[in-house]
Structure formats: structure tokens, C-alpha cells
Amino acid sequence: MKGIKVFVISDSVGETGEQVAKAVLSQFRPNYEETVIRRFPYTRTEEGLTKIIHYASVKGAMVIYTLVKNEMRTLAATLCTEQGVHGIDVLGPVIGAMDNILDEAPLEKPGIMHQLDEDYFKKIEAIEFAVKYDDGRDPRGLLQADIVLIGVSRTSKTPLSQYLAHQRFKVANVPLVPEVDPPKELFQVPKEKCIGLVISPEKLNFIRQERLLALGLNNDALYAQHSRIEEELQYFNRIVEQIGCQVIDVTNKAVEETANRIIRHLHEQKQ
């Protein structure tokens, strides 16, 4: 399988360019296999832009840029052409079309979308909430959360919590371990807000072995043994049956895909 590197250059945080890159890459690599996406945010000088595109040339990466200033977009296009880099201007064509329709010059002010407005504060609040109530640290957060994720170790609870937090959801997560009773607050959470994350024993075994090796430990520890994994998954099934919550199989699913399923589930429950 051919690998691909994508550099996202932005004069703001680069979120728009990264989402465009992921949306397109998912059509070729649904699980983002052999892909690298790297953001270069707050690129607002010609010198910085020149260095990044040269680096992209050296690394054989394509470039997606979201730059609001016309001279910076022009420079990016010129540099990409000169250095043989595949460059994609995401905002330029839309700004040009909007300019023609409105007959107004754009402000060309980077970061307007991320000014300190109410929506920005909601996002920061959700991110801080996810950090504070990660991994069952404080069960009091479960009753304040928009979403509560439960699952055995290594089922992407923390990455999902952070991803959903960036979508303005307050998320808490609780690891399920047979030797530890879940907090009583978990059973007080409305079941439509609670999501169980399950994974195949084979995939979980692989992930845990890789985790142990990364920590410099023996990969045949109890944590990664099939018997232990089966025990934990059986315990998980008993808890989710008791709660009556939605369960999502995260085996071979990207965090974005699982998050979108959770968001759809919440919308369906509200309707």
C-alpha cells in the first residue's frame, strides 16, 4: 500500500484544512492506513511559509493550505510549483467566488473564526471537562456529562473523549475492571447518554501487546492474555446489560467514525 504525507498549512489553527484532508483521505484509506497528516498552524510570514513548503518537498508531502491573505496564497502556489509539491488551495476559490457575489473585499484577517466568542469558550470548557473526568477520576462528573463512555482498557475512551470535546460535548469516561465496582453514579446516568465501547478479543490482544512492548514490558503479561481479555469483556457485557445503554463496536474503526456514530445516536434520542 502506497503511503502518503499531507502537510496542512494555516494562518490560524489549521482545523479546517485537517478536516478536509481527513474527509478526502477516508475515501482512499478508511482507517487512515499509511497516512501522515501534520498541521503547521499560525503560518503568517513568507519566511515561515517558504520553510514549510521546502520541508514538504524534502519529505515528499502534498500540501493543503488555508490562508486568508491573497499574497500568502499566491506565494504558496508559486513555491509549490517551483519545488514540485502538490499544493491545494482550500479557501482561495471560495473567497474569490464570494468576492464576486458580494462585490466586497475580504477582510483577510486570520483567525476570525477562533476569536474568543461564546462558542470558543464552550469548546475550551468541554476540553477541560474531558481532561478532568477522564478515566473515572471523579465520578461526580458523570452526572454533569453530555456523554459517558464506558469500556475495558484500550478501547479508545480517552481519544474519543477529546475528539467529542472538540465538538463541544462534555464527556466523561469510566474504565471497567472486574475487580473494581463501577461508581454508583454510573447507574444514575440516563441510558441514552451512556455509550459502551466494545472491541474484538483478537484486536484487543494485539493492541495490549503493542502497548506493553512500547512500555518496555513483557508482552505476555496477564493484561494481554486472552483469558484475561475474555473475563474483562464478559464483565463489560454484564454492566452494559444492567445499564441498558447503546454499545458500539470500535474494532478497526477510526476515532472520527465512532464519534460520528455517537453524535448521530444522541440526535436520534433527542428526536
pLDDT digits (tens, 9 = 90+) for 128-171: 999 999 999 999 999 999 999 999 999 999 999 999 999 999 99
CA distance 76 to 65: 8
- Does residue 39 sit in the same domain as residue 60? yes
- Does residue 106 sit in the same domain as residue 135? no
Three cell numbers at 100? 464576486
Taking only the tens place, the pLDDT of each residue in 142-151 is: 999 999 999 9
Taking only the tens place, the pLDDT of each residue in 60-117 is: 999 999 999 999 999 999 999 999 999 999 999 999 999 999 999 998 988 777 665 6
- Grouping H, G, I as helix, E, B as strand and the rest as coil, residue 212 is helix
How many Cβ atoms sit within 10 Å of the Cβ of residue 81? 10
Residue 9's domain comprises 4-114
- Is the pTM for the entire model greater than 0.75? no
Helices (H), 60-199: 70-83, 92-102, 118-132, 157-165
Binding residues: 151-158
Three cell numbers at 197? 465501547
Binding residues for ADP: 151-158
Domain boundary among 62, 82, 114: 114
- Does residue 40 sit in the same domain as residue 101? yes
Beta-bridge partners for 175: 151
pLDDT at position 218 is 85
Domain boundary among 86, 114, 142: 114
Residue 9: pLDDT over 70: yes
Considering its fold, how many domains does the chain have in total? Answer: 2
CATH code for the domain of 103:
3.40.50
